[in-house]
Amino acid sequence: MSWSGRLLHIHIAARASLAMEELREAKLIAGRGIEGDRYFNGIGTYSPKPDVREVTLIEMEVLDAIARGDPPFPGEKVEIAPAEHRRNLTTLGVPLNHLVGKRFKIGEAVLSGGRLNF
C-alpha cells in the first residue's frame, strides 16, 4: 500500500513545560528524533520509558473529527490547534494506523511506525 499525503506542521519543544514551536523544516537524526526537541535531548516527560518516541505524529483528520464532535465523544466539540496537541508532525491524507510496524518516508527522512499513541 502506498499513500501520498502532506506534512502540514512540524513542532518541537525544548522542554516539556514549554509551548510547542513551529518549524518550517527540521533535521531528523536516527536514534534521537528532531534536532532541538525535548526528546532529542533526552529530557521529555517520557524519555525514560523503554519504548522509542523519537518523533510523534497525528492526522489532521483526527483533529477535524474532534472539532466536529465525532465519536467516541459525540457532542463534545473541541478545537485543538496543531501546536496544542504536543505531537511533532501533523499530517493530512496519511492513515497513520496503517504505518505501525512499517517503514515510511517523510521528505528525506525514513521513519518506522512504532505504536499507536493515544
Q: Are 51 and 115 in contact (CB under 8 A)?
A: yes
Predicted confidence (pLDDT) per residue in 79-104, tens digit: 999 899 999 999 999 999 999 999 99
Q: Does 1 score more than 70 pLDDT?
A: no
Other Cβ atoms within 10 Å of 38 Cβ, number = 20
Flag whether 118 is in a domain. no
Flag whether 76 is in a domain. yes
pLDDT of residue 109: 92
Flag whether 72 is in a domain. yes
- Residue ranges making up the domain that contains 67: 6-112
pLDDT of residue 88: 96
Overall number of domains in the chain? 1
Q: Are 88 and 10 in contact (CB under 8 A)?
A: yes
Flag whether 117 is in a domain. no
How far does Cα 93 stand from its chain's mean position?
14
Flag whether 1 is in a domain. no
Flag whether 51 is in a domain. yes
- As beta bridge partners, residue 11 has 22
Q: How far apart are CA 114 and CA 70, in angstroms?
A: 26
